[in-house]
Each structure stands twice: as structure tokens, then as C-alpha cells.
Amino acid sequence: MCMGGNKVVLKMAATYASERQQFGQPIGNFGAIKHKLAEMAIRNFATESATYRTSQLMQDKKNAEAAAGGSYGQSMLEAAEEYAIECSILKVLGSEVTDYCVDENVQIHGGIGYSEEYPAARAYRDSRINRIYEGTNEINRLLMIDQLFKRALKGELDIVSPAWAVQKELASMPSMERLEGPYAEETKAVADFKKIILMTAGGAAKMQMDGKLNLKEEQEIIMNCADMMIDLFAAESLLLRVRKLSEKQEKAQPQEVYDAMLQVFLHDATARMTKNATDGIASFAEGDLQKTFLMGLKRFNKYPAVNVKEKRRLIADAVLKAGGWCF
């Protein structure tokens, strides 16, 4: 629902940006407007990628349960339970991307965007409920981490071994290997995002196990970890989709447009991951332990800088040419 609304809003914004003249030219020619249009497209493309991926995972799980003799209802229930974390991620991501899109759409429309005579104001008003119903976004963030730890304690999900591997990596010399092949930097960035989460969430969990922390009373740390999980799942889903598109001959846009969306998203997500990890680590670790974690963080946030200005202009030009969603 949110993704569909985002596409309608992007068309609304692109149409107005092409028609509205200022200083003798359409406002869509200006870099500030291109930034908004491109970012609306990037965030919704990432959300769509994560949603398609989760839908397929749930479908595969349902089919596997049915093939094993489960009833239709039981198979659906098992699939929903298996991917409850991903569903919470999608609820938060979708609703917050929609809020971004409708807000920037009003801004692109200027004064008339605030008038109830135009649809921009209605979209802005109506979108606000999405972050509240079906479980507030805060509740869904708490559920992500709660489900993660519950599965780990039940032995359904091994996060101890990967977390220990990250700890060992922190104690070793940094690797000087050169990355080669298509999307090598992007693949490494996603792998490093996982290490950042394992280091931060694993550190907090260890503090709780040692009786030095009660995560039930530390919701800020849980929110930091949840936001990192959201960025990771969106980034990995986007990478998988863009890589698959690179193998196709026929697609809606040239591959460079999809590559640009992936690169800009990872550039920005790296900064968000760094901020959330730093906040989380500083909230539970002190002294040498904190220094060790923060040094580790610097090792895992090495995605190279991207010329986001030119990449966003490329994406925005595709949106303006098509008059809206075109991916």
C-alpha cells in the first residue's frame, strides 16, 4: 500500500516539477529538486526490493510446508512466523519512506502543496497513520530485536558463532586484499553491515548475560540495533535485485541508473550504520571496551565515497523524462 502511494506521489511531484516555471525554466532543472525526486525513487526502489524478496521467501516457505503435508492455513502461519522480523522491517521501512515522499512532495509544490485544494496536502495528511497502525513503528522495532534474541536462545538461529568470528577479526590485522569483480565493493559493504550489527548487538547481549545491562530498560540501544537491521535488509535486497538486473538484456532503465540507486543508498546507509552503531556502543560500553568497538567500527565502514550529486541527477532525469515511476 505504501509503495503504491509512493509511486503516485512521485508522479505528482515529477509532473509539477516539469510544469512549474521559475527563473525562466522548470524547477525540475534545479539540483535541489532533482535531489528530492531521486531520493524518493531510491528509497521506494529499496523498499520494493525488500518487499519482493520477503514475498518470495514466504511463498517458498509456504510451499515447502504444504509439500511436507501441512494444511494451507498451517503453511501460511509457518511462513508468517518464519519471516516475522522481515515483515516488521517492511512495515517500518514502507511507512517511513512514505512519510519522506509525501513531505518532499509538499515541499516541491511549495505554497499550493499546503492547500487542501491540491492532492499533495491530502497525501501528506493521510500518510501519517501508517506509522501508527498495524503496530507502531516503535513496537515493531522492539519486536525485531526481541524475535532475534528469542530465536538465538532457542537455538533456531546461530548468532553466537558469527559474533565470535567478528570478535576474532577485531583482534587480527586488517586484511589488505583487493576487491575484484562486479559489485565487489557493494558486496563487501553489505557483509560489513552484518559485522557492525553483530559487534554492536552482540556486545550489548554479552553485557546483559553478564548482568551489567538490562536491555528491557534500554530501548534506545534496541532502536539503534533495529535501525541497523532495517538498513542492512534494504541494502542487501537492493544489491541482489540490481545484480540480477545487470544480467538482463531488457529492463526499464539503463543499468547505470540502477547502479546509481544502489551506490547512493549504500553511501548513505554507511553513514547511518556508523551513527547508530556509535550511539549504541557509547550507550553500553566504556573505557577500553568502547575503544575496541569503535576501532572495529572504523574497520567495517569503508564503502568508498560516491559522487551522490551526479548519481542522483541521473536518477532524477530518468524520473522527469518518464513523468514519474519508471523502474
Q: Which residues are catalytic?
A: 134
In a 3-state reduction of DSSP, which class is residue 22?
A: strand
The C-alpha cell that represents 112 in the structure block: 499550493
Alpha-carbon torsion angle 136, 141, 147, 153, nearest 10 = -140
∠ CA 193-160-52, rounded to 5°: 45
The answer to whether residues 39 and 268 touch, using CB atoms and an 8 Å cutoff, is: no
Q: How far apart are CA 12 and CA 113, in angstroms?
A: 11
CB atoms near residue 152 (< 10 Å): 17
The answer to whether residues 79 and 62 touch, using CB atoms and an 8 Å cutoff, is: yes
Amino acid sitting at position 134: E
Q: How far apart are CA 129 and CA 113, in angstroms?
A: 19
Q: How far apart are CA 232 and CA 226, in angstroms?
A: 10
- Kind and range of the H or E run holding 25: strand 25-26
DSSP-H helix ranges across the chain: 2-19, 31-67, 72-82, 84-109, 119-127, 137-154, 160-170, 184-209, 219-246, 255-284, 287-300, 308-322
Q: Which long-range contacts (CB under 8 A, 24 or more apart) does 63-69 make?
A: none
Q: How far apart are CA 307 and CA 305, in angstroms?
A: 7
